[in-house]
Structure 1
Amino acid sequence: MTRTTNTQTIILIAGHWLGAWAWDEVLEHLDTAGSPAIAMTLPGLDAGDPDRASKTLDDQVAAIVDLFTRRGVSPEQPATIVAHSGANLPVSLVLDRHPELIHRVVWVDSGPVTDGSIFAPDFPEEVTELPLPPFDVMGQQASLDGLSEETLDRFRARAVPEPGPVLRQPVVLTNQARRTVPTTLVCCSIPSAQVRELAAAGHPMFAEVANLAHVDVVDLPTGHWPMWSRPGDLAELIRAAAARTE
């Protein structure tokens, strides 16, 4: 099937604790380049939703598919979807359920998950949500390189606790077609050479990468939040990936 890209939509989805606002600077660069893009806030991460702590991965998948519908995404006009960090779980499910609607997936310091993955299998059932941890704790888990104090303050002020059901729900993947969707890995806090090594070794974080039929791996050296530390460069990589036709 020939996939046209002249009016293709780029959909940006940030990871845990983040909403559409996290992409503001990237969107400015994409708009300047004439690339139609939209950022979305996943269910559970809208601070104004009184029921947000009960949202599930299925709710997030449904919201992404609803956005596809509203933006006119179809097999003839598929979207490029950009997933940062923990957005990899709902986006992996969308790829499994609707691969025909995806022109390309761009993983930003992230990657596709395997069947049965659970983000936090030990997260207690009685705990409703996970607030943004202190930055000294965060820094041990994900690189904060390139983030100013002002940026960290904004992150802290706007972060929304991650819903417990999202952290505990297992991902069920059954459609092998998800692995044929063209893929770009944007490697930031972990260099591409190391990502390839981890994939080849079957490391749980990147094991699925070894199963992809069409994958490009590019480096964007910075911390785990390149939409803030290198927004212009990230926008250019996203624009170039979306323009690819294979």
Structure 2
Amino acid sequence: MNVILIPGFWWDASLWRDIEPALRDAGHSVRSLTLPGLAAGDDPTAIGMADQIDAVVAAIDAAGSPVVLVGHSGGGPIAWGAADARPDRVSRVVFIDAFPLPEGGSISDEWKVVDGVIPVPDWSDFGEGDLLDLTDELRAEFRERALPEPARVASDAIHYGGDAEVRHRIPATLIATGFPGDDIRAAMAGGHPFMAELNALSDAQIRDLRTGHWPQLTKPAELTAELLDVLG
């Protein structure tokens, strides 16, 4: 299976460095993306959500066969936007502590913006569940490796251009880490507006992996096992 790994905010492709080897050993072709605005030499102030979606679409086109998109955090909506553009080429989207945005929704407008980018926030800006298992050592590593995020990626509204019925037939798996799967189910059952797209899917599975928002750091072996099980 062709697998494209998409990092969330403040991370480049290296977020997946402890995940990739086992996926490859299992016979999968793996490509980890550094999205526009986070690569060396990029101007993050010039990058919006559509630019990152286009980059994932280009990776899908380059894969040459159907792919599984794995999107973490803010990378989840980017993955879903790309799946909307190439529904016939995407066999599944895996959301890690993420979910698909409803039409017109944005990832977040709450983060502090400085000169067109979102610096890594203070730990106090995250929820307790986000930081579960993130030790002092891992927090220091996080700060050393993290990159400023293009602000427009967070605030831009997503607009789907494909056929909604086709998009909603793409299988999806949600791996809930920083927030429990039961909370997602409750929000779906309650008709929360941000769950509209998720509620429209014909095949959506929710799995729990209890740890913080960055399982690639806190529980890489367990996350890898979940991905391998999803990939079959």
What is the TM-score with the length of structure 1 in the denominator?
0.86
Match of 1:70 in 2: 62
- Match 1:185 to one of 174, 184, 194: 174
After superposition, residues 165-244 of structure 1 pair within 5 angstroms as: 165-174=152-161, 175-176=163-164, 177-243=166-232
Q: Compared with structure 1, are the counterparts of its residues 167 and 133 closer, same or farther at alpha carbon in structure 2 (3 Å cutoff)? A: same
- Match 1:14 to one of 7, 14, 26: 7
- Match 1:133 to one of 118, 121, 129: 121
Q: Give the 3-state SS of the residue equivalent to 1:25 in structure 2.
A: coil
Is 91-100 or 107-116 further displaced after alignment?
A: 91-100
Match of 2:48 in 1: 56
Q: 8 Å contact 2:10–2:148 — kept in the other structure?
A: yes
Q: Compared with structure 1, are the counterparts of its residues 105 and 166 closer, same or farther at alpha carbon in structure 2 (3 Å cutoff)? A: same
Root-mean-square deviation (CA), in Å?
2.0
After superposition, residues 80-99 of structure 1 pair within 5 angstroms as: 80-99=68-87
User: 2:104 matched to 1:116?
Assistant: yes
Deviation at 1:149, TM superposition (A): 1.9
Deviation at 1:123, TM superposition (A): 7.1
Q: 8 Å contact 1:22–1:227 — kept in the other structure?
A: yes
After superposition, residues 139-154 of structure 1 pair within 5 angstroms as: 139=127, 143-154=130-141
Match of 1:155 in 2: 142
Q: 8 Å contact 2:112–2:118 — kept in the other structure?
A: no
Deviation at 1:31, TM superposition (A): 2.6
User: 2:31 matched to 1:44?
Assistant: no
Q: Give the 3-state SS of the residue equivalent to 1:61 in structure 2.
A: helix
Q: Which amino acid aligns with 2:202?
A: A
Cα distance in 2 for residues equivalent to 1:242 and 1:86: 21
Cα distance in 2 for residues equivalent to 1:183 and 1:234: 16
Cα distance in 1 for residues equivalent to 2:2 and 2:194: 28
Q: Give the 3-state SS of the residue equivalent to 1:180 in structure 2.
A: coil
The answer for unaligned runs of 5 or more in structure 1 is: 1-7
Q: Which amino acid aligns with 1:228?
A: L
Aligned residues: 230
Q: 8 Å contact 1:199–1:208 — kept in the other structure?
A: no
Q: 8 Å contact 1:12–1:38 — kept in the other structure?
A: yes
CA distances 1:140-171 after superposition (whole Å, capped 9, x unpaired): 5x511112222211211121111122122110
CA distances 1:99-147 after superposition (whole Å, capped 9, x unpaired): 111110000011111000122347799841110011122245x511112
Q: Compared with structure 1, are the counterparts of its residues 190 and 103 closer, same or farther at alpha carbon in structure 2 (3 Å cutoff)? A: same
Identity among equivalent positions (%) equals 30
Cα distance in 1 for residues equivalent to 2:94 and 2:108: 23
Cα distance in 1 for residues equivalent to 2:8 and 2:194: 15
